[in-house]
Structure 1
Amino acid sequence: MVTTTRGRPARHVPPEETPPARTARDLLETLPPTPGFRAEVIDGNLIVSPVGTPEHSWSATLLSYALQPVVMEREWRAHVGGVNVCIDGPRDSLVPDFVLAPADCPRWGTLELRSSGLILVTEVVSPGSARVDRDDKPRVYAAGGVPIMLLVDPIATRPAVTVMSDPEGGAYQTVTRVQLGKPLRIPSPVDFDLDTSIFL
């Protein structure tokens, strides 16, 4: 851009520069939309992975249908995919397949729900996300104070659903795993018997 001032020669003014990203979180916040991909920050690393298959998202939708009576009775909010969760502390950003939150869940900015204000998160394991969903995310959610994590794992050698609760010291202290098709009790504050045959 060229500017002129009275009695002075024109000078070149460089356009404003965006400061370089210093962290994965900074980079995430500057990414353009990535249709067909999910961008998350886990342990300070930016991870971009393909979104799940239609069957993957259908599992999360079925869970939403199953929990609908509880959600409506307690005036909670159920979010199927697409809602970012900011992990309290490190500010990692995850996109669970299903989120259960109170209507007044605190936020980080306008777009992210804060992890410590949630009720439950769910991850549906797919071939491309198996290690992260099974190993990393339970630890990250527990450290962020998410009371309950549900892991739907249809691709395990023995397909199963696991509920984890009582986060303490960066780990869930109570873990219950059932074979897909068996009933599973989701603990307080949800207090719900889930028929996992919905995922078959």
Structure 2
Amino acid sequence: MTSRRRPADLRPSPETASQPLPGTARELFDALPQLPGLRTEVIDGRLIVSPVGTPEHGWLAMLLAYELHELVMKRNWQTYAGNVDVCIDGPRDPVEPDFVLAPADCPRWGDRELLSSGLLMVAEIVSPGSVVDDRDRKPDLYAGGLVPVMLLIDPVATPAIVTVFSDPKGGEYQTVSRVAMGSPLHLPDPVDFTLDTSVFDKALGTR
């Protein structure tokens, strides 16, 4: 995979004018320049460009990183909070999870995208504009890419809930566990960690 082009690279020239335009969402994603302050993903064949989350959205991702910090350092893992692209094995669709947990030697697609099948866990934080994609589309997307565990933090739900999906087979997660935000939730292998979701509850001021 080539890195995304700079704006100057997208201007027509005698050499590029006769080249075909991007024909797929993946090709269009690869042709885009970096878009600071925006998130660019391909979901179900759609190229989606959306604003980055609110400060509260980012704070929840950081709280998850803090909760996992001791485990991450002990096992020599790496975490990324909304700043790394993931390539879904199979369709090669790029997505940008709100949080990624990966081994230090996670394989990559090109220079900047981690391969989904090499990850340990991804997490998404639902916002009003991402309800359908986060709740309905991304679990199957990550399951199809063989991400072992997906965590869904949903402060938009009434009441707020946290869900963990695991055991991906045939493009679906076979096991789903859900708790009200504020209750402990076990993250299954390969993470094997009991998450205290009250940190999210307190951050949102819902207790």
Could you state the TM-score of these two structures normalised by the residue count of structure 2?
Answer: 0.88
Which residue number in structure 1 is paired with residue 142 of structure 2?
141
Which residue number in structure 1 is paired with residue 169 of structure 2?
168
Q: Report the secondary structure of 2:159's partner residue.
A: coil
- CA distance in structure 2 between the aligned counterparts of 1:124 and 1:40, rounded to whole angstroms: 15
- CA distance in structure 2 between the aligned counterparts of 1:114 and 1:59, rounded to whole angstroms: 24
Which residue number in structure 1 is paired with residue 49 of structure 2?
48
1:25 Cα deviation (Å)? 0.4
- CA distance in structure 1 between the aligned counterparts of 2:198 and 2:51, rounded to whole angstroms: 26
- CA distance in structure 1 between the aligned counterparts of 2:140 and 2:26, rounded to whole angstroms: 19
Q: Which stretch of structure 1 is more off in the superposition, 41-50 or 83-92?
A: 41-50
1:19 Cα deviation (Å)? 3.5
- CA distance in structure 2 between the aligned counterparts of 1:66 and 1:142, rounded to whole angstroms: 24
List 4+ stretches of structure 1 deviating above 6 A.
none
Greater C-alpha radius of gyration? 1
1:82 Cα deviation (Å)? 1.4
Trace 1:1-200 onto structure 2 (pairs within 5 A): 15-17=14-16, 18-200=19-201
1:165 Cα deviation (Å)? 0.2
The one-letter amino acid paired with 2:112 is L
| Cα distance per residue 1:84-105 (max 9 Å; x no partner) | 0000000111100000000010
1:48 Cα deviation (Å)? 1.0
Which residue number in structure 1 is paired with residue 4 of structure 2?
none
More strand, by proportion? 1
The one-letter amino acid paired with 1:176 is S
Q: Which stretch of structure 1 is more off in the superposition, 43-52 or 54-63?
A: 43-52
- CA distance in structure 1 between the aligned counterparts of 2:53 and 2:129, rounded to whole angstroms: 9
The one-letter amino acid paired with 1:31 is L
Identity %: 64
- CA distance in structure 1 between the aligned counterparts of 2:176 and 2:159, rounded to whole angstroms: 17
1:35 Cα deviation (Å)? 2.1
- CA distance in structure 2 between the aligned counterparts of 1:35 and 1:110, rounded to whole angstroms: 18
Which residue number in structure 1 is paired with residue 3 of structure 2?
none
More helix, by proportion? 2
1:55 Cα deviation (Å)? 0.3
1:30 Cα deviation (Å)? 1.0
1:43 Cα deviation (Å)? 1.6
Q: What is the aligned residue count?
A: 187
The one-letter amino acid paired with 2:34 is P
1:34 Cα deviation (Å)? 1.7
| Cα distance per residue 1:49-79 (max 9 Å; x no partner) | 1111000011000000000111000001111
- CA distance in structure 1 between the aligned counterparts of 2:37 and 2:190, rounded to whole angstroms: 34
Could you state the TM-score of these two structures normalised by the residue count of structure 1?
Answer: 0.91
1:33 Cα deviation (Å)? 1.9
Q: Report the secondary structure of 2:129's partner residue.
A: coil
